[in-house]
């Protein structure tokens, strides 16, 4: 039976990605969705993008764009954005992964990868997006800011009736947060947490950390947000 596998925010952490990928072992027929934030903070943003670009063409893989991809692209062309990216976003680690640490060292296929990442993916039952959705706005009319920047908070169900799967807002518990109508899988691999892959249909997940340790779990019952 085919699976839908959603992989959370990576932030330049290649080691957890490699271990997680071996654990989930995607096969033709599976659908893999990367939630975005491939770069910044972690030690090997270049390696993460190289990994993504090298995935077999027979696999059904969708790459979503995150706010860190947007910032990386903006930092290349604007000095103010560059200073902010380096000081506050972990951009220095990204540049350092491209020896000798200059924008000219970033291959053109990496820029193209960042530019081509999608804002969302919709299936019959789910909407995959980096950050969030406005509940009363049709998917095609969502603002780019909402899709890649809006914090998770306590989102209301989307008018489509579909379940939102997202990242962006780090879960300090290091386990996915399940609201029933929305699931957040950013479990903060770059700051002591774990990288998560959610098997959407089975409501279970795999996780790996920077030490290469692996663990599995099941989504808990939906949490009822406090009013």
Range of the domain at 130: 4-218
Q: Give the pLDDT confidence of 79-105 residue by residue, as tens digits.
A: 999 999 999 999 999 999 999 999 999
Tens of pLDDT, residue by residue over 125-171, are 999 999 999 999 999 999 999 999 999 999 999 999 999 999 999 99
224 falls within a domain: no
Residue 77 belongs to some domain of the structure: yes
Sheet containing 182-184: give its strands across.
Answer: 120-122, 126-129, 163-166, 182-184, 177-178
> For residue 225, is it within any domain?
no
How many CB atoms lie under 10 A from the CB of residue 41? 22
What pLDDT score does 93 carry? Answer: 98
List, for residues 11-55, the tens digit of each pLDDT value. Answer: 999 999 999 999 999 999 999 999 999 999 999 999 999 999 999
Tell me, yes or no, whether 109 lies in a domain. yes
Report pTM. 0.97
Instruction: Report d(CA 217, CA 102) in Å as an integer.
Output: 40
Beta-bridge mates of residue 207: 196, 215
Q: How confident is the model at residue 76 (pLDDT cuts 50, 70, 90)?
A: very high
Q: Is residue 223 part of a domain?
A: no
Domain membership flag for residue 213: yes
One-letter-per-residue 3-state SS of 91-130: HHHHHHCCCCCCHHHCCHHHHHHHHHCECEEECCCEEEEC
Q: Is the pLDDT of residue 227 over 60?
A: no
- Distance between CA 30 and CA 44 in Å, rounded? 27
Give the neighbor-by-neighbor strand order of the sheet with 195-199: 60-63, 31-34, 4-7, 195-199, 204-208, 214-218
Q: Please report whether residue 226 resides in a domain.
A: no
pLDDT at 41: 96
Our count of domains for the chain comes to 1
| 142 assigned to some structural domain | yes
SS3 content of the chain, % helix, strand, coil (to 5): 30, 20, 50
**CATH number of the domain enclosing 192:** 3.60.21.10
Residue 10 Cα distances to 75, 78, 125, 170, angstroms: 19, 25, 25, 11
- Paired strand residues for 122: 127
């Amino acid at each position: 039976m085919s699976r839908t596998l959603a992989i959370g925010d990576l932030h330049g952490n290649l080691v957890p990605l490699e271990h997680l990928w071996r654990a989930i072992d995607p096969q033709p027929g599976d659908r893999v969705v990367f939630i975005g934030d491939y770069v910044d903070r972690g030690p090997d943003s270049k390696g993460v993008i190289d990994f993504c670009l090298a995935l077999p063409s027979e696999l059904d893989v969708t790459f979503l764009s995150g706010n860190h991809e947007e910032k990386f692209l903006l930092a290349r062309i604007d000095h103010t954005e560059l200073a902010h990216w380096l000081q506050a976003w972990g951009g220095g680690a990204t540049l350092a992964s491209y020896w000798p640490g200059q924008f000219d060292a970033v291959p053109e296929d990496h820029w193209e990868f960042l530019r081509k990442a999608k804002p969302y993916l919709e299936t019959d039952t789910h909407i995959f997006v980096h950050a969030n959705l406005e509940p009363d706005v049709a998917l095609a009319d969502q603002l780019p800011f909402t899709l890649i920047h809006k914090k998770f908070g306590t989102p209301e169900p989307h008018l489509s009736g579909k379940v939102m799967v997202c990242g962006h807002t780090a879960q300090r518990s290091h386990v996915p947060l399940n609201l029933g109508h929305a699931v957040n899988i950013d479990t903060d691999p770059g700051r002591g947490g774990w990288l998560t892959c959610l098997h959407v249909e089975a409501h279970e997940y795999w996780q790996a950390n920077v030490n290469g340790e692996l663990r599995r779990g099941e989504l808990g019952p939906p949490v009822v947000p406090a009013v």
